[in-house]
Structure formats: structure tokens, C-alpha cells
Structure 1
Amino acid sequence: MDVHHEDILNNDWINDIKLNEGAKWQVNKATHEGVLEMQTLLKTEKTVSIEAYHHLATQLNQVKNTIIKKCDMKGKAHNNLHVWLLPLIQKLDVLLNSKSVEDASKLKYSIEENINKYNTYFQY
């Protein structure tokens, strides 16, 4: 994995995201259901080959695209969702193009961390 991709793994976006005066941001139903679906995919998909990692990335990407398409959020909640979502989009793109199981495994772990942090900042 090259240096640019190593930066993607670190989840520095956490330094930029904010809570809503100490509370979680409200999200729309499509976002919440999409994140739950991504969490399920990460738990249930067996990733033992590079093809399996690419398949997982494709599935996660489809869910992410649905979240984006159905997003009707506005204001600070929407802005903070983007702080969470943009690094995830980058990670999924890199996972889709990863060449080794070792790199893909690191990316999957970082994606899981990213997706699971959703519950720290957002609620439905």
C-alpha cells in the first residue's frame, strides 16, 4: 500500500467531527438503515480472498450510494455526516482496487472502525 493509502487508514476525520452540543446528530431513516446494512455486511461477509474483499467493497459501495441518493438532511447534521462519510468513500474506493489480501484486510479493519464510529455521533 502506498503512502497516500496509509493516510486513509488512520481515521483522522475524528478530529474534525463535532457532536450537537454534546448530543448525537439526528439522521434520516435511509442513512440509519444503510449504516445498519453496512455493519451487517461487515459481520457476515467472509473475506478470505482478494475477490471476496472486492465483492464486499462493491456491496458496501452500493449501500453508500443509496445513502447518498436518499439523503435529505440539512445543516450541521448533514455537514457532520459528510465528515464521517467522505473518508469512508475513499476507503471503499481503495478497497475496490486493492491488490493484496494484506492491504485489503487493513482497509476492512479501518472501514469497520469508521462505520462503527457512526453510533458515537449519529442516531435515528
Structure 2
Amino acid sequence: MKNILQMVLLLSLLLFNCKGESTKKGQVDKALDNIPTSLSLPMELNNGEKWVANLETHTGVKQMDSLVKAFHIDSTKNYKRLGENFSKQSSDIIKQCSMEGKPHEQLHVVLIPMLDAISTLKETNTEDQAAKALDRMELLINTYFAHFTTE
């Protein structure tokens, strides 16, 4: 029951923000920390074509991809810091989202599991779980780029 309430809170926050409204500072980060771990939904293309994302969202996911690449070069392997950096980036994506309709719904299919992986990176104390969350994050970033464009 708690997971259902958390999901409703997150979806409300995402829907509210993606239409250009703002929230009080800290609400997005708090919602990100409470994502249930069982969400997995299929992505679909727009009649065989990629969905068009707003520039801010696309840029944000590109920056997440850059964070992954930099992490693999960094020898410290600080997963919690990586999770914090992803969290800041995902908060910016949510705040700046202006997408609507089916493209917006498809963005949520990939974004919500990203938030789950970010939460795991920020909260886990085991390197194995953190590494699995990072692998999932990389897969989700690649899934985003396979299904979205800005053109």
C-alpha cells in the first residue's frame, strides 16, 4: 500500500511539473527517494519513429550519459555522489519538462525506472547493488536515446 501511495505521489508530481508548474524546493528530491522498485513498462515508438522530446529533457539525458562516462574513468567509484548528480539532473529534467500527450507518457516509461535506479545509487551501501543500479541506468539512458529525439 505504501508503494502505491508513493507512486501516486510521484506521478502527480511528474504530471504537475511537466506541464510547466513549479514545486517547492526539496519536494522533487524527496519524491525521488521514495520510488517503488517494481515498475517496469514497455516502450513503444511513434509509428516506427522516435518521439520528439523537448530540448531541456534531451539535454538532461545527454548530461546523465556524460556522468556515466566520467564515472567509468574516475577511479574513486563513488556511487553515492553519482546518484546525487543523477538526482540533480533528473530534478532539472522534471522541472523543465514541457512535453504533453503520448510523448510525455512514453518519457515517464523510461524516467520512472531511472528515478528508481538513482534512488538505489544514493541509498545503497553495497557496491554490488550500486553497480547493478548503474548498469540499469545505462540501459535506461540507451533506451531513451533509442526512442527519443529533438528533431
TM-score range, shorter chain: 0.7 to 0.9
Look up the match of 1:122. Answer: 148
Corresponding residue pairs, total: 113
- Provide the alpha-carbon RMSD of the alignment: 1.7
Tell me if structure 2 keeps the 8 A contact 1:47–1:53.
no
Tell me if structure 1 keeps the 8 A contact 2:45–2:51.
yes
Among 34, 44, 57, which residue is 1:18 paired with? 44
Any runs of at least 4 consecutive aligned residues in structure 1 with deviations exceeding 6 A, and if so which? none
Tell me if structure 1 keeps the 8 A contact 2:53–2:148.
yes
Distance 1:26 1:19 in 2: 10
Q: Which runs of 5+ in 1 are unaligned?
A: none
Q: Percent identity?
A: 32
Q: Which runs of 5+ in 2 are unaligned?
A: 1-35
Shift in CA distance, 69/34, structure 1 to aligned 2, threshold 3 Å: same
Look up the match of 1:44. Answer: 70
- Give the alignment's TM-score, normalised by structure 2: 0.70
Tell me if structure 2 keeps the 8 A contact 1:30–1:71.
yes
| Larger RCO of the pair (alpha carbons < 8 Å, separation 6+) | 1
Among 43, 49, 56, which residue is 1:30 paired with? 56
Look up the match of 2:21. Answer: none
Q: Does 1:78 align with 2:104?
A: yes
1:44 Cα deviation after fit: 0.4
Look up the match of 2:24. Answer: none
- Give the alignment's TM-score, normalised by structure 1: 0.84
